[in-house]
A and B are shown apart, each in its own frame.
Chain A
């Protein structure tokens, strides 16, 4: 059996972007507004995050932990400060200037769901976050890990987080037309959706959002030139960071009462 050596995880990126310190947003310097609107109803039916929204508005200290893989690290854009968690911190700081917002990015290159779940007790809970954003399902799709196994792993992680009273947003894989024919994302996207429905947590549908941007010509995800690709990644992460800021500050008023599914376990 030629089990490949696990990728060396030497780089443990820990970005603590203290929102207040970054208040003059980097984009303002360039004067470029990335116009990447989310489609209408993007978050309309997602479970709200009342505690997080309340804490953000209350002006105290809010800790948000992000878990994920390569695409949450910002390396494709040039560095951790250009990752979406970092952009999220900036966007939230702009929106809630009175609140001390800490976004702690615990993403690691190629982190699997199991590796992320194993870190919850030791590294996530002590930070006492109000919200954990868990980007997951990518490595499982790339490696073809069993879907049942993936679902059980994330379920155990969700149980742990929710027992600690932490709100959770699940983020699914990136959309890529180039990866799509080789890597089958559908079962893992579906599993993330099922996990969210069964636990009444919300999904930030990154796959769908990126597909929407690619379809509507907002982002050209297929650029081959490496410099262009770096700029594309930077813009993409900024767009996602902002969309995520919208997403987490929706609060309890997001879904109109009539739109709340009747039977959601």
Chain B
């Protein structure tokens, strides 16, 4: 457990990224009761917001620092290398998807869904689907957040230059684009298969969260941002987070037992809850929580270095690997739950075993990194860097 407490590392990032990874895995299991009690129960939005915000923050911090110390070119190459790793991971997930498809297609074609599923173009023309997956346009289940992350990270070097010379211009432009998406839903990237399909996560909307995070991460390396410490801002965030928690929880409970009223639900809010475009309430909810955590939890708080937080921290540290593993486990869990008709106990078992495997693999990676560092020491200077990047 020594490795976790290494000096200088912001354990909050690892911890909450780990939490988001567990949440993503559990949310991806079908008809899973456990998914009623993940991040999406306590905030407007879900693990995706947490994941993108933390990824933006970390990227801004790590590559922003790299740009200042090693120059723009080196930083840009490092970002490109990371984009390449994400792309390879995306292709890996697509291979899993294809395997799953091969496994289920025959059953699907002889099911009651046979006729409808003929309209699923990837089944009738898998060759096109492969090409469209390589161009990030085909985003079947599980394969929607990496394409978003890839395009956002690819643009990051330009944003970093912007932060250095005209930070306000970059932030205002980013926010304006987000606002335009909220007003005009047609601003979107089309996806395969058409004609009405768009990217699950609209990059023009979601970029605002990523680049705000990146700016905070970059800015944080130059000392604190004074207005973030204002007391009224903290109060506002606390009030909003609390209201979001109560309202969102009431929706969950209403879904489980309808006589419990769903507070403040209704058509009027739909626009602000859009997951596709990152609606206002989702955006505000994750920012409020982030501000609360930033103010109330120290970067190396005792709890974060302790035993309870350890599984979250190590998973968050190896986030790309653990994310891919989580998707693979969700696919397998899907098959298990479908075969066994898991009721609550089975859902609980699959969720627990899956998270257990994620933790075990992360622990193995930690141990291996430590062993290599101990043996050669060569890795030691790389470790924080690769951890920060993942």
Contacts and interface: CB of A to CB of B under 8 A. Distances in A.
Interface of A: 1-4, 7, 45, 69-71, 75-76, 109-110, 114, 138-139, 142-149, 151, 155, 174, 176-184, 186, 193-194, 197-199, 211, 214-215, 221-222, 224, 226, 229, 232-233, 236, 258-265
A3 B334 contact: no
In the complex, which of the residues B116, B185, B198, B266 has the most CB atoms of chain A within 10 Å of its own CB atom?
Answer: B116
Report, nearest first, the 4 A-B pairs whose CB atoms are least far apart: A265-B266, A45-B258, A178-B107, A178-B111
B376 interface: no
Interface in B305-346: 331, 334-335, 338-339, 341, 343
15 contacts: A4-B121, A7-B118, A76-B115, A174-B113, A176-B108, A181-B338, A183-B113, A183-B141, A193-B255, A194-B270, A197-B262, A198-B265, A215-B343, A233-B112, A261-B262
Nearest to A263: B261
In the complex, which of the residues A109, A174, A198, A199 has the most CB atoms of chain B within 10 Å of its own CB atom?
Answer: A198
B261 A142 contact: no
A255 to B, nearest CB: 9
Contacts of B120: 142-143, 182-183
Interface string B85-118: 0000000000000001100110110111111111
Contacts of B261: 261-264
A159 to B, nearest CB: 10
Given A4-B193, A181-B104, A176 B112 contact: yes
Contacts of A147: 275-276
Contact of A214 (B30, B107, B266, B341): B341
A155 B263 contact: no
B197 interface: yes
A129 B66 CA distance: 68
Interface in B241-270: 254-255, 258-263, 265-267, 270
Nearest to A109: B115
Interface residues of B, number: 60
B333 to A, nearest CB: 10
A82 B260 CA distance: 39
Given A151-B270, A214-B341, A178 B197 contact: no
Given A176-B112, A176-B113, A183-B117, A145 B107 contact: no
Nearest to B257: A45
B111 A176 contact: yes
Nearest to A174: B112
A211 to B, nearest CB: 8
B140 interface: yes
Interface of B: 30-31, 100-101, 104-105, 107-108, 110-121, 124-125, 128, 139-141, 185, 190-198, 200, 254-255, 258-263, 265-267, 270, 274-277, 331, 334-335, 338-339, 341, 343
Contact of B258 (A177, A194, A215, A259): A259
A75 B115 contact: yes
Contacts of B334: 180-181
Given A3-B194, A183-B120, A259-B258, A71 B338 contact: no
A182 B119 contact: no
A227 B150 CA distance: 48
A110 B116 contact: yes
A263 B263 contact: yes
A211 B185 CA distance: 35
Contacts of A211: 31
B112 A181 contact: no
A198 B269 CA distance: 10
A198 B197 contact: no
B326 to A, nearest CB: 16
B331 A181 contact: yes
Contacts of B140: 144, 182
A243 B104 CA distance: 30
Contact of A139 (B101, B111, B116, B262): B116
B116 A69 contact: yes
Contacts of A7: 118-119
B108 A182 contact: yes
B335 to A, nearest CB: 7
A179 B266 contact: no
Contacts of A197: 262, 265
B116 A138 contact: yes
A265 B30 contact: no
Nearest to A149: B196
A211 B30 CA distance: 12
Contact of A76 (B112, B185, B191, B262): B112
Contacts of B197: 143-146
Contacts of A4: 121, 124-125, 193-194
Contacts of B100: 181-182
Contacts of B118: 7
Given A179-B117, A186-B30, A197-B262, A3 B276 contact: no
Contacts of A236: 112
B69 to A, nearest CB: 43
A263 B107 contact: no
Contacts of B200: 144
Contacts of B259: 45, 258-261
A208 to B, nearest CB: 9
B117 A181 contact: no
